[in-house]
Amino acid sequence: MNVIKRIFNDILDRIFANPKSSVAGVVALVAYLAAAFGFEVPAEILALVSSVLLGVLGLLIKDN
């Protein structure tokens, strides 16, 4: 069980280390899963969600 917890924490650390790239990856993953189950997500909706999330992250995250 400890190994699973370490893997999960490592994944979370990698996601939070570069959240702007992670948002793009998560949006792509959700779109892929929706398409795999037969739901069509319009490109305009994906672009809107990605733009809003990246804009919010850009405003809230401190650049190094």
pLDDT beyond 60 at 61: yes
* 21-34 burial code (b ≥16 CB/10 A, e <16): eebeeebeeebeee
Q: Where are the domains of the chain?
A: 2-60
List, for residues 30-56, the tens digit of each pLDDT value. Answer: 888 888 898 888 888 888 888 888 888
Any idea of the CA torsion for 18, 20, 24, 29, to the nearest 10 degrees? 40
pLDDT at 62: 65
